[in-house]
Each structure stands twice: as C-alpha cells, then as structure tokens.
Amino acid sequence: MPVFTEYSTSSRDLRVLPSFAPPVPRLSPKFKPEGSQEKYEVVIAGAGPAGLFLEVLLARYGLSDSSLLCVDAKPTSLKSGQADGLQPRTLEILKSMGLLEEILTEGCQMWEVAFWNPSSSKADGASGGIERTSIVRDVAVPARYPHEVTIHQGRIERILEDDLKRYSTRGVQRSTRVTKVHIDEEGDAEFPVVAEIEGPSGVRTVRTKHLVGADGAHSLVRRSMDLKLEGETSDFIWGVVDFVAETDFPDIRRRCAIHSDNGSVMVIPRERIATGEYLTRLYVHVQDEVKPDSDIAAEEGIEGENKTRAKARREKITMESIFAQAQEVFKPYKIRPRRDDAVDWWAAYQIGQRASKQFVKKDSKGINRVFIVGDACHTHSPKAGQGMNVSMMDSYNLSWKLIHSINGLTPHPAGAVDHILDTYQTERSTIAQQLIAFDKEFSYMFSGKIGTEDGKEGLTHEQFLEVFSTGNGFTSGCGIEYPDNVLVEQTTRDGIIEGNDYLQGVLRPGRRLLNVKVKRHADGNRRDLQDDFPSTGRFRILHFTTTDLLSPSGSSSTSLNAISSIIPLFPPGMIELVILHPLPQNTFVWSELPRVVKTEAEMRFHNGTELEDAYRVYGVSREKGAIAVVRPDGYIGTIADLNDTERVERYLKGCLREIN
C-alpha cells in the first residue's frame, strides 16, 4: 500500500499502551495532605497476597501514592514456598482485572483428583500398599475456569506488583513494618489512625483515615486493636515439601488424596519450572508424639516456657523424615527427589482453625477505621487450597467499599457512619466462619484413616468423597453467599426466578453472577458475559428483556425507559447497563429498539440464547424477564420484576449517593 498522502493527529501514546483501568469518580474533595505530619487516606500493613491485592485494587480505582501507602517487612516478594492454589472464583476475578493470562498458561491447571486408598487385595500379607479408587473432576461446580491453578505464591505477588507499578510510582515500601497502631481522634479527627512505621531510615509516625492490617497470622495490627483469633489447634502435624519428583506413582500429575495404612498424603501437582521439569507439592501427615502446649504457642509466637518444648517438636521434623514418611504411604510405589538439589522448600506445620470475630475497629463515632484482612483474620489448614484465595477475597470485598466511602460515593455524608463499609465485617466474617467449619471437617477426615475397621476413626471412601464434593461449592469460591444486608436484598418477590439450584447459576442475591457465553448484537462477537463486569468499581444493571422487546409499548421497552431515567440520578459512569435479549433473530436494527439500548449499552447488548441459554441458566423466564443489580464485585445485589424498577432505584439509592 504505497500511501501518498498521510495525516495523523498529535502523538497518541495511549493508543499503543496496555489499557488502564478507569478510575472511580470522586465527589469528595481531592486529598491534599496539609501540615508537616505524613498523612494518607489508606495505609496497608503487609504486602502478601491480601495486602498487595488491596493496594493494586485501590491504585486502579484511582488512589495515588500520596493517598495510599503499603509497607512490608520483607525486602522482596516471596521466592519460594507457602500458598500455591488459586480457586475458580479467584481466577474469574483476576480475569476481570486482566491479570489472569500468565497464571492460566504457566500455572498448573488442576482438573482432576485421584483418590487412593489401602489396597483391597492384600495378597502379600502385612501391607498391600495403596490402589486407586477413583478419579473425579477437581471442580464439580460450573465456573468460567473449571479447574484450580497451582502456581508459586511469589509469582502471584510478582504479577500483582508488575500491575501495581503501572499505577503507582512508589509501589510497595519494602523492609518497612508497622510497629504500633492506635486510634487518636482528638489529635486529628479526620486522620485518627496513628501508625508507627519502622524502615531502613528509622522510625516515623504517620496518620491515616484508614489502616488495613494484612500482616499475617501474627498480625500486629490485630493485636494492637485487641482483636483475637478464636478457635482450636488440633494435634495433627503435617510436613509440606515442594520438589521435582522421581517416581513411578501413576498419578503424580493429578491432585491426589492418599489414605494408606501408614498415614495420609495429599499430592498437589505444580507448575513447570525453568529446567523444563514440573514441581510437585506433598502434604505429609507426620507421626509425632509430642503434643502442643496450648493454642497460644501457635497463635502468638512461641515464648517463654513453651520455647523449649516447641523446639523439641520442631527438631524432630526434618526433610528426611517427611520423605521417609511419604515413602511409607506411597508403597508399593517409589517417590524421592530427582536430585539432591531438587527440593525447593519444605516446612512443618500444625493444623489449627481460628478466626477473629471482629474484622474491624471503629472509632468513637462508629466509623470503620482499622480493618484486618487475610491470615490476620483467619488461619486454617492449607490442604483445601483456601488461604491465598479467601485472603485476596477479603481485600476484594473491602476494596470497592473503601474507595466508594473515601470518594464520597456512598449515600452517607463525609465523616458519618458508613453502612456500606459496615458490610465488610458482615460479609467476610460470615465467610471466615464457614471456612473454619469446612476446614475442620475436611482436615479431620483427611487426617483420619480410611478403611480401618477399628472404631471411631474409620471412614469410608464414600464419606470422604461426600465431604469433598459438597464442600466444592465453598472451596471453589463459586458457591459462597453473602448474607442479607444493605447490599444484598435476599428477599425477592416469588416467581421472578425459577428454580433454586444456585450453584448451577440460578440468580440469587448474595451470590456471584455465573459466566455464560453470549453473542453481542453490535458485532456478532462471541463473548463471556463476565467480561461486561470488570472490576472497576461500578454497579451494573443486568436487564433480561423479553420476547416483546421489539414492541415499543411492551414490558421490555417500558422497563428500559424507566431504567434510562434511573441511571442519571447517580454519578456519571457509576451504573452501567448490560442487556440480554431472547429473540431468535439478530437482524433487527437499533432504530427498532428503545433508545437507551444504543446510548447506554451499544456494546453490552447481547443475544442471550443463541450460544448458551442464559435465561435458563439464570432461571429467568423469556416471557417475563427480570432485572438484576450486580455489585462492583460481581455479586447480585437485588432482583426485580421488569415493571418493578422502583425496587432497582431504591436499592441503588441505598448503595450510591445521588447527584443533583
């Protein structure tokens, strides 16, 4: 193409850079720190997955380095060990931020679980070893990504930090820790949280509107606020090891629950590493006679008299003892590290399930000031692959409520109690309690024996499988349900939604919107509906029109016209309209539709039945339609009849400030 005349407007760097997330609008005055005191709107203590994820989210929502500080005691992100599992719901959310690709292609996709149990044919006498009982799908519930992904926690952190650096010059302030926190309203009512921060250049004091403790199981923030982890520590001791395996065990690349006469092992296949080899993680139940002293030892660090005893316990466990025990369980198969240097990391830990009842400390006026997220709120066993996920989801839940509050988008006047922010406690402590309950049951069963006939500890494979499968809604993250609150109107008029199999996608306030494939009207693009719900802090009205859509006086048109006058009541861009239609044909044109379809939803208007039947999946009738309001985090807020747009308006007025 020999061009002989060419013109272009001024430099358009934004055309070539990766897209940035659009900031959330701010109605409150711009933050301008005054005086000599170092001040922020949010300080985050800790940059593990929970703290870093929160920082990334707030930075994407528009908080600049002058408003937002995140410090971490470690000099760099993690290089080995610790958490490694991402659940389907977490994958959906990472996708909604454009952060999933590397995880999906370079992590290990875990699609199947193999169950191994004591061999039924004990021909050789003493021990017949183990045999495979069955292979089942690892994720049994519908999800956009129907598998787990295992990948090094440090890599997740690196991916989050890479994204953070697109929005923040400072990034995480490393080798720096919060050493003291207290609330002092008299000193400065607007910035009442006072934190002492210790870094390479000494100790300094900062003030902030809000502080978030993402500082782990031994959280200083939690202890400073007099919040307590409550619960139990079991006697079970486990070893965990990441290594490149040399083995003839047939299922080393599947997740395995192995129950043998010699103990239990869980196999977690892991990602490929730079050598071209694949990592394997083993959780090994270590036989240990010394009982732990008390819960305190494990919770708050080991001090004083417990030290000696804890040391004795610790010293009993070595890498060699973990592998020796694993080898016993794997019989008749052999398993060992491929080379001497093929072990990446190992550790020993004790199973415990504890959670804090309170996740928030308020000031004297009732304003939420100090939050805790992640391990600071709940600790539990790692075997259901929940830790990193529930922690990041705490931050995900908190992030948009916090930015709405700071930016003056909630219906509450500045400096007053904010009921939107209150729901962090309501929603996430509910999940933490469910997590603890599930983990107790799962861990107990997993540490027990299968197939023994001697008394209480006996457990059939079917019982174990039952706990595994029914727990899948929870462990996948896809089945969690937030309780009724200002953001979740669980009482829906009878008959709007057909069915109650919410795990399969039927709409339910408090649950996430399942993904379906839809075909966009404007361009025929085959899309994932969840892509219309990116994590940009916006509410969405999901409108299921009916078969009468093309009738100008029909129920769909009437409803859409009513919706079109609700959207402008709120700050521009804060409510996006997504529309599905059930019509078999795609040949109608914009001029045959209510005007709002093109003006508000040109690129979010889809055929909802041609590729998958979204109406059936969601339990919506094609004749009656429905309206669902979806929160910024992808959870359903309320569901209304097409003609009940008043409910939509009322719900939104409870969530967002109106503009004049």
User: Does residue 304 belong to the site contacting a copy of itself (CB under 8 A)?
Assistant: no
User: Does residue 20 belong to the site contacting a copy of itself (CB under 8 A)?
Assistant: yes
Give the nearer residue to a copy of itself in terms of CB position, either 226 or 340.
340
Q: Is the peptide bond before 332 cis (omega within 30 degrees of 0)?
A: yes
User: Does residue 217 belong to the site contacting a copy of itself (CB under 8 A)?
Assistant: yes
Residue 166: CB atoms within 10 A of its CB come to 13
Residue 126: CB atoms within 10 A of its CB come to 6
User: Does residue 248 belong to the site contacting a copy of itself (CB under 8 A)?
Assistant: yes
Can you tell me which of 24, 298, 480, 516 binds a copy of itself, judged by CB under 8 A? Answer: 298
Give the nearer residue to a copy of itself in terms of CB position, either 489 or 576.
576
Do residues 509 and 631 touch, judged by C-beta distance below 8 A? no
Can you tell me which of 14, 30, 75, 186 binds a copy of itself, judged by CB under 8 A? Answer: 14
User: Does residue 317 belong to the site contacting a copy of itself (CB under 8 A)?
Assistant: yes
User: Does residue 193 belong to the site contacting a copy of itself (CB under 8 A)?
Assistant: no
Element at 578 (helix H, strand E): strand 575-581
Can you tell me which of 117, 350, 426, 476 binds a copy of itself, judged by CB under 8 A? Answer: 350
How many chain residues bind a copy of itself (CB under 8 A)? 91
User: Does residue 250 belong to the site contacting a copy of itself (CB under 8 A)?
Assistant: yes
Strand, helix or coil for residue 473: helix
Q: How many CA within 13 A on the CB side of residue 144?
A: 22
Can you tell me which of 29, 75, 202, 276 binds a copy of itself, judged by CB under 8 A? Answer: 276
Binding mask 326-345 for a copy of itself (x = CB under 8 A): ---------------x-xxx
In the beta sheet, which residues pair with residue 231? 354
CB of 568 to a copy of itself, least distance (A): 17
Window 476-535: residues binding a copy of itself (CB under 8 A): 522-526
User: Does residue 320 belong to the site contacting a copy of itself (CB under 8 A)?
Assistant: no
d(CA 216, CA 301): 12
In the beta sheet, which residues pair with residue 44? 70, 212
Strand, helix or coil for residue 441: helix
Q: What burial letters (b/e) apply to 511-546, b meaning 16+ CB within 10 Å?
A: bbbbbbebbbbeeeeebebbebbbbbbbbbbbbbbb
User: Does residue 3 belong to the site contacting a copy of itself (CB under 8 A)?
Assistant: yes
d(CA 333, CA 321): 18
CA dihedral of 415, 421, 426, 427, whole degrees rounded to 10: 180
d(CA 222, CA 229): 9
Residue 184: CB atoms within 10 A of its CB come to 13
In the beta sheet, which residues pair with residue 203? 198
Do residues 72 and 178 touch, judged by C-beta distance below 8 A? no
Give the nearer residue to a copy of itself in terms of CB position, either 180 or 253.
253
User: Does residue 12 belong to the site contacting a copy of itself (CB under 8 A)?
Assistant: yes
User: Does residue 264 belong to the site contacting a copy of itself (CB under 8 A)?
Assistant: no
CB of 551 to a copy of itself, least distance (A): 19
d(CA 638, CA 292): 48
Can you tell me which of 85, 88, 192, 352 binds a copy of itself, judged by CB under 8 A? Answer: 352
User: Does residue 585 belong to the site contacting a copy of itself (CB under 8 A)?
Assistant: no
Q: Please identify, among the stretches 71-79, 412-420, 449-457, 484-492, the one whose residues bind a copy of itself according to the rule CB under 8 A.
A: 71-79
User: Does residue 394 belong to the site contacting a copy of itself (CB under 8 A)?
Assistant: no
Window 439-468: residues binding a copy of itself (CB under 8 A): none
User: Does residue 75 belong to the site contacting a copy of itself (CB under 8 A)?
Assistant: no
Can you tell me which of 166, 182, 314, 493 binds a copy of itself, judged by CB under 8 A? Answer: 314
Window 151-170: residues binding a copy of itself (CB under 8 A): 152, 154-155, 157-158
User: Does residue 293 belong to the site contacting a copy of itself (CB under 8 A)?
Assistant: no
- Token readout for 234 is 């079991």
Task: Output the DSSP codes for 535-551.
Answer: SSS-EEEEEE--TTTT-
Give the nearer residue to a copy of itself in terms of CB position, either 272 or 650.
272
Three-class secondary structure assignment of 87-151: CHHHHHHHHCCCCCHHHHHHCEEECEEEEEEECCCCCCCCCCCEEEEEEEECCCCCCCCCCEEEC
Window 353-392: residues binding a copy of itself (CB under 8 A): 379-382, 387
CB of 46 to a copy of itself, least distance (A): 16
User: Does residue 419 belong to the site contacting a copy of itself (CB under 8 A)?
Assistant: no
Window 85-124: residues binding a copy of itself (CB under 8 A): 98, 101-102, 105-106, 108-112
Window 601-630: residues binding a copy of itself (CB under 8 A): 602-603
User: Does residue 213 belong to the site contacting a copy of itself (CB under 8 A)?
Assistant: no
